């Protein structure tokens, strides 16, 4: 009768053969990870240049920060673009869309009436609003010379008749120095 074979935990003592990394203790792993005499794999993140970079961005953004926000452009107005332009100036804004005229967001006339009349005319509502603005400015700034500057935001499809009527009305109301707001094309101009 043959003997029952021993299971794997009850093998007779024998000299072990060659085994891969059998003799490697855990210390070796630790040594390997920490560099093992070579360059360490631990890295210091260079925070100081990063902070310098952030500070530069902050200073640039602070320098270009505008507390007054974006120039108010009526959402119904698509402005044309031009090359030979001047920088924007602070002045009352008159928006001229396909249907209405707005002064600083407040309705001040209808463009359809001008188109239907088919002749150059003074826009009475706009005239009154601009005249009141001018008188208010003079009351707030006594003794100062009034510049008479107004900025027109005119939609690119508006007809020249409407533009000329608004231009003339602004001049009659004491704003002869009219500027048209446009997008900037290229880098020319003063």
Partner 1 sequence: MAGIDTGGGHGGKRSTNHEIPLIPFIDFLLCLVAFLLVTAVWSQMARINADARVPGPPKDEPPEEIKKEKQLHVEMKGESKFQLIWKEGNTVVNTIDVDRKAVPVGNEGDIRFPDLAKKIAEEWNQNGSHRGDLKDDKKTDQAILHTDNSTPFSDVVAVIDAIYTPKRDCSVCERGKTIKMPGFNVTFSVN
Catalog residues that contact partner 1 under the rule CB under 8 A: 47-48, 50-51, 54-55, 57-58, 61-62, 64-66, 69-71, 73, 78-89, 118, 120, 151, 154-161, 163-164, 167-168, 170-171, 176-185, 189-190
Surface-to-core class of residue 22, CB atoms within 10 Å of its CB (0-12 exposed, 13-18 middle, 19+ buried):
exposed
- What token pair was written down for 130? 């601009």
Q: Which is nearer to partner 1, 29 or 55 (CB)?
A: 55
Query: What is the nearest approach in angstroms of partner 1 to the Cβ of residue 115?
Result: 9
Query: What is the nearest approach in angstroms of partner 1 to the Cβ of residue 156?
Result: 4
- What token pair was written down for 116? 């239907």
Neighbours of 21 (CB within 10 A): 7
Query: What is the nearest approach in angstroms of partner 1 to the Cβ of residue 21?
Result: 37
Q: Which is nearer to partner 1, 16 or 69 (CB)?
A: 69
Please list the residues that pair with 110 across neighbouring strands.
100
Query: What is the nearest approach in angstroms of partner 1 to the Cβ of residue 189?
Result: 7
Residue identified by tokens 């209808």 is 110
Beta carbons of 89 and 151 less than 8 angstroms apart: yes
């Amino acid at each position: 009768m043959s003997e029952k074979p021993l299971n794997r935990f009850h093998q007779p003592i024998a000299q072990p053969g060659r085994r891969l990394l059998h003799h490697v203790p855990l210390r070796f792993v630790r040594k390997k990870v920490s560099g093992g005499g070579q360059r360490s794999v631990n890295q210091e993140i260079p925070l100081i240049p990063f902070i310098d970079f952030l500070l530069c961005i902050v200073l640039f953004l602070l320098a270009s920060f505008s507390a007054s926000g974006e120039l108010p452009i009526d959402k119904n107005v698509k402005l044309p673009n031009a090359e030979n332009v001047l920088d924007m100036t602070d002045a009352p804004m008159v928006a001229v869309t396909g249907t209405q005229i707005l002064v600083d967001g407040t309705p001040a006339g209808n463009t359809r009436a001008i188109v239907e009349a088919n002749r150059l005319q003074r826009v009475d509502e706009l005239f009154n609003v601009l005249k009141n603005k001018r008188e208010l400015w003079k009351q707030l700034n006594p003794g100062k010379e009034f510049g008479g500057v107004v900025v027109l935001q005119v939609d690119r499809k508006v007809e020249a008749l409407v533009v000329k009527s608004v231009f003339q009305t602004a001049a009659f109301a004491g704003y002869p120095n009219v500027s048209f707001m446009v997008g900037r094309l290229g880098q020319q101009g003063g």
